[in-house]
Amino acid sequence: MVTPREVRAARAFLGWTRQRLADRAIVSLNSVIRLEQAVVDPRASTIEAIRRALERAGIEFLSPQGHDEGVKVRGGRKRK
């Protein structure tokens, strides 16, 4: 499962605003904000839509290896 920290890192890597991510994932801006801030426990479908949108843009989420620290995002290319 992708974490709020990973979503923020992936979005920053792509140079996307929260609104751009919301548009690409076809979710509300408030959903992206709440997920990134870990304010509420988001729906699995929302997390999945956001993950798929980031992966379509070239982001690859990696499984934790050993210690679960740091952001586990690799690859992708900047898109505007």
**In Å, how far are 9, 32, 40, 74 from 43, measured between CA atoms?**
20, 11, 9, 25
3-class DSSP state for residue 8? Answer: helix
* Angstrom distance (rounded) from CA 20 to CA 62: 23
Mean pLDDT on 15-22: 98
**CA-closest candidate to residue 35, choices 74, 25, 69, 13:** 25
The hierarchical CATH code for the domain 4-74 is 1.10.260.40
* pLDDT recorded at residue 61: 81
* pLDDT recorded at residue 70: 43
* pLDDT recorded at residue 69: 44
Q: Which two tokens stand for residue 69?
A: 């620290």
Q: What is the pLDDT of residues 21-78, one digit of tens each?
A: 999 999 999 999 999 998 888 889 999 999 999 999 988 887 665 555 444 555 545 5
